[in-house]
Amino acid sequence: MTSTVTVDLDRAWDLHPQVAVRPEPFGALLYHFGTRRLSFLKDRKLLTVVSGLEGSPTARAACTSAGVGDAELPRYQRALATLATSQLLVERAPS
- State the CATH number of the domain containing residue 31: 3.90.930
CA–CA distance, 27 with 43 (Å, rounded to integer): 5
Orientation of helix 44-52 relative to helix 73-85, angle to 10°: 70
User: Quick one: which of 31, 32, 17, 10 has its CA closest to 90?
Assistant: 17
The tally of domains found in the chain comes to 1
H helix or E strand, kind and range, residue 21: strand 19-24
Inside any domain, residue 4: no
CA–CA distance, 95 with 92 (Å, rounded to integer): 9
User: 1: pLDDT confidence band, cut at 50, 70 and 90?
Assistant: very low
Q: pLDDT tens digits for 28-80?
A: 999 999 999 999 999 999 999 999 999 999 999 999 999 999 999 999 999 99
Query: Mean pLDDT, to the nearest integer, of 66-95?
Result: 94
Inside any domain, residue 31: yes
